[in-house]
Amino acid sequence: MSRAGSFQMAHLALTLIVLISFHSGLLAVPQRCESIFAPHSGDEYTCMNPRGVRFLCGINSCLTDGLKWADVIFKHCQKYEPENTLTDHYEDIHVGEFVTVVYKKSQFLDAKKLGTNTWFRCTWSRRSPFNAHRPTCGSCRPDP
């Protein structure tokens, strides 16, 4: 093999290593689950980031303010009836899954209480931003 051929082979091999490493690095970028966070399969959750891109993330890699997701509490959330109407009942809940809703001038989170089939509306505002926290997950891959 000529010197030029050896150089080209080495260059090609190095290029492939860099591309594979770069691609793996992209998958390791933490994702903030802004709009959707819901069970997918096994320990994976569907996570939609602020750009509207879906990822599958390992639940054990998801943290909020340094807490594991299962330890995070949303405060003063209003319970839905099975007919999807709001009640006068409020609870502090651990959230199993959520969908963020932005409608006209209001924004809120529809959240399913962890371990139940009961849904709640959790609100926040600039003066009271507590329920605005969202999980950031470190072990994510693009949702095919």
Element (H, E) at 24: helix 3-27
DSSP lists the bridge partners of residue 36 as 48, 99
The pLDDT score that the predictor gives to residue 23 is 45
The pLDDT score that the predictor gives to residue 21 is 40
The pLDDT score that the predictor gives to residue 60 is 95
The pLDDT score that the predictor gives to residue 3 is 55
pLDDT in tens, 47-71: 999 999 999 999 999 999 999 999 9
The pLDDT score that the predictor gives to residue 5 is 53
pTM of the model: 0.77
**What parts of the chain have a pLDDT lower than 70?**
1-28
The pLDDT score that the predictor gives to residue 15 is 46
Contact (CB, 8 A) for 122 and 77: yes
| Distances from the Cα of 34 to the Cα of 15, 71, 84, 90, angstroms | 35, 18, 23, 23
Distance CA 63, CA 71 (A): 9
